[in-house]
């Protein structure tokens, strides 16, 4: 592949150790803030600062269309991908509302929707006009895959230039739960019945059909599904490749990544298979109601922060979890120690 997987350095272990030490000195019974303590320490280590901060949050939503949509694997028509991009920009989608609420920068990146949306403030980083139907051929060429990975890398670089303290990637692409499930089957080595779910709302018969479609693709591509870059090329989507490139580049730039739901987590798994060192930079926001998410999280050893039965994508689950991470930072930074407060027993 011509897109070069970046080197990724580990977070600062000495900052992590000191942050845990500070947690032990704060005016509370040892360990009583539960996972918030470890989260604050991990953010401190990633940011290389004893006082972690999440004021500057960056969200890139990557959109693209999928050839496999013609197999009838989504409850909604492919035209919705493009239509929702307008709603993201106009400010009325779930992720638009949540980005405003948490004061995040939100950009929408066209990684390859069927027809371009000119002049709407959407970032043009198109790798094609939708992927090919992967039950018949590879979803994309090598050049298209590398262009889509680069589209994500460019988004992470914009986040770095902004001074982002947290990177969130979202996605929009009708039929992308089929692509994500197929990718996860190849990466984890299990059958589609364990990874395919209702997505936008298929019924039982629809999910069975989706499993058959994925089974057909896995048989077609068979032995060629041997490394993550080739698995991505054959079964992926442009927005999933862009997420993968963005996660790798954010980790390389020492920006913590908050991973969203099922599709985003499959992109995180691709990134970790390409560059294992990036795993230390990932936090998992939520457990999606899409049933396959559990298995993909397990493959990553990821412990989600919340489980609200959400199954939307767009980066919405990650945006909802930001206030929790901000609470972890505020407690870490602003609580007093036993010594400072003159409280006994610390
Ligand atoms: C109106 C609407 C808004 C969305 N926002 C995200 N998705 C989500 O649903 C799609 C994946 O589900 P499937 O594989 O079943 O098509 C993706 O676009 C995902 O981001 C949406 C879906 C719809 C219909
Ligand atoms: O978990 C997700 O990201 C998800 C689930 C269903 C549909 N779209 C996205």
User: What beta strand segments (E) does the chain contain?
Assistant: 57-64, 105-112, 123-124, 166-172, 257-259, 282-284
pLDDT confidence of residue 346 = 65
CA of 182 to the centre of ligand 2 (A): 14
d(CA 318, CA 260) in angstroms, rounded, equals: 5
Whole-prediction pTM: 0.99
d(CA 162, CA 10) in angstroms, rounded, equals: 22
Among candidate residues 207, 316, 193, 206, the one with its CA nearest the CA of residue 263: 316
pLDDT confidence of residue 189 = 98
d(CA 91, CA 82) in angstroms, rounded, equals: 15
Q: Is the CB of 290 under 6 A from ligand 1?
A: no
CB neighbours of 205 closer than 8 A, spacing ≥ 6?
Answer: none
d(CA 85, CA 62) in angstroms, rounded, equals: 9
Q: Whose CA is nearest to atom 3 of ligand 1?
A: 84
Among candidate residues 122, 91, 127, 90, the one with its CA nearest the CA of residue 109: 122
Q: Which of 260, 261, 266 to mutate to test the pocket of ligand 2 (most atoms within 8 A of CB)?
A: 261
d(CA 219, CA 236) in angstroms, rounded, equals: 16
Q: Is the CB of 76 under 6 A from ligand 1?
A: yes
Ligand 1 atom at minimal distance to the Cα of residue 63: 18
d(CA 171, CA 261) in angstroms, rounded, equals: 10
Helix, strand, coil content of the chain in percent (nearest 5): 55, 10, 35
Among candidate residues 259, 323, 260, 324, the one with its CA nearest the CA of residue 103: 323
DSSP state of 302: -
Q: Is the CB of 84 under 6 A from ligand 1?
A: yes
The three state secondary structure string of 52-92 is CCCCCEEEEEEEECCHHHHHCCCCCCCHHHHHHHHHHHHCC
Q: Is the CB of 199 under 6 A from ligand 1?
A: yes
pLDDT confidence of residue 79 = 98
- Per DSSP, the residues of 164-202 read -SEEEEEEE-TTHHHHHHHHHHHHHT--GGGT---TTT-
Q: Which two tokens stand for residue 197?
A: 């779910």
**Quick check: helix, strand or coil at residue 139?**
coil
Ligand 2 atom at minimal distance to the Cα of residue 197: 6
In angstroms, what is the C-alpha Rg of the chain? 20
Q: Which two tokens stand for residue 315?
A: 């980066």
Q: What does each of the 346 residues of the chain score in pLDDT, given as a tens digit? A: 889 999 999 999 999 999 999 999 999 999 999 999 999 999 999 999 999 999 999 999 999 999 999 999 999 999 999 999 999 999 999 999 999 999 999 999 999 999 999 888 999 999 999 999 999 999 999 999 999 999 999 999 999 999 999 999 999 999 999 999 999 999 999 999 999 999 999 999 999 999 999 999 999 999 999 999 999 999 999 999 999 999 999 999 999 999 999 999 999 999 999 999 999 999 999 999 999 999 999 999 999 999 999 999 999 999 999 999 999 999 999 999 999 999 998 6
Q: Whose CA is nearest to atom 9 of ligand 1?
A: 200
CA of 330 to the centre of ligand 1 (A): 34
Q: Which of 76, 171, 177, 195 to mutate to test the pocket of ligand 2 (most atoms within 8 A of CB)?
A: 177
pLDDT confidence of residue 119 = 81
| 14 catalytic per annotation | no
Count of beta carbons in the 10 Å neighbourhood of residue 209: 16
Give the chain's domains with CATH numbers.
13-51+331-341 (1.10.1610.10), 57-324 (3.40.50.10210)
Do the interacting molecules here have an ipTM over 0.90? Answer: yes
Q: Which of 76, 98, 171 to mutate to test the pocket of ligand 1 (most atoms within 8 A of CB)?
A: 76
Q: Which of 115, 314, 334, 340 is catalytic?
A: 314
Q: Whose CA is nearest to atom 9 of ligand 2?
A: 313
The CA-to-CA distance between both ends of the chain, in Å, stands at 55
Q: Is the CB of 172 under 6 A from ligand 1?
A: yes
Show the ligand 2 pocket: residues with CB < 6 angstroms: 177, 199-200, 260-263, 288, 290, 293, 311-313
Q: Is the dihedral of CA 318, 165, 157, 10 positive or negative?
A: negative
Q: Say if CB 195 and CB 185 are below 8 A apart.
A: yes
Ligand 2 atom at minimal distance to the Cα of residue 176: 8
Dihedral of CA atoms 130, 136, 142, 148 in degrees, nearest 10, equals: 30
Q: Say if CB 306 and CB 82 are below 8 A apart.
A: no
d(CA 95, CA 285) in angstroms, rounded, equals: 14
Q: Is the CB of 68 under 6 A from ligand 1?
A: no
- Measured N-to-C along each axis, helices 316-334 and 13-25 cross at an angle, to the nearest 10 degrees, of 60
């Amino acid at each position: 592949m011509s897109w070069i997987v970046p080197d990724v350095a580990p977070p600062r272990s000495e900052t992590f150790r000191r942050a845990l030490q500070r947690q032990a000195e704060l005016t509370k019974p040892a360990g009583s803030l539960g996972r918030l303590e470890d989260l604050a320490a991990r953010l401190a280590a990633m940011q290389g600062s004893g006082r972690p901060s999440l004021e500057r949050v960056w969200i890139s939503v990557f959109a693209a269309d999928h050839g496999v949509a013609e197999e009838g694997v989504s409850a909604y028509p492919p035209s919705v991908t493009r239509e929702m991009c307008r709603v993201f920009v106009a400010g009325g989608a779930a992720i638009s509302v949540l980005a405003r609420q948490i004061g995040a920068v939100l950009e929408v990146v066209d990684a390859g929707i069927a027809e371009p949306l000119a002049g709407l403030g959407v970032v043009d980083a198109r790798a094609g006009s939708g992927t090919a139907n992967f039950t018949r051929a590879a979803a994309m060429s090598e050049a298209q895959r590398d262009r889509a990975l680069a589209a994500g890398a460019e988004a992470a670089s914009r986040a770095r230039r902004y001074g982002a303290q947290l990177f969130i990637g979202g996605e929009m692409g009708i039929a992308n739960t089929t692509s994500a499930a197929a990718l996860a089957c190849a990466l984890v080595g299990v059958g589609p019945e364990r990874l395919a779910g209702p997505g936008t709302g298929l019924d039982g018969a629809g999910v069975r059909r989706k499993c058959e479609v994925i089974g057909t693709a896995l048989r077609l591509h068979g032995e060629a599904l041997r490394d993550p870059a080739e698995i991505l090329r054959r079964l992926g989507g442009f927005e999933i490749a862009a997420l993968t490139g963005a996660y790798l580049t954010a980790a390389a730039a020492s920006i913590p990544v908050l991973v969203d739901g099922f599709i985003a987590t499959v992109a995180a798994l691709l990134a970790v298979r390409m560059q294992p060192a990036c795993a230390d930079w990932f936090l998992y926001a939520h457990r999606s109601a899409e049933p396959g998410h559990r298995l993909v999280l397990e493959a990553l050893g990821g412990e989600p922060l919340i489980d609200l039965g959400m199954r939307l994508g767009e980066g919405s689950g990650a945006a909802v979890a930001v206030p929790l991470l901000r609470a972890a930072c505020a407690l870490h930074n602003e609580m007093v120690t036993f010594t400072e407060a003159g409280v006994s027993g610390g």
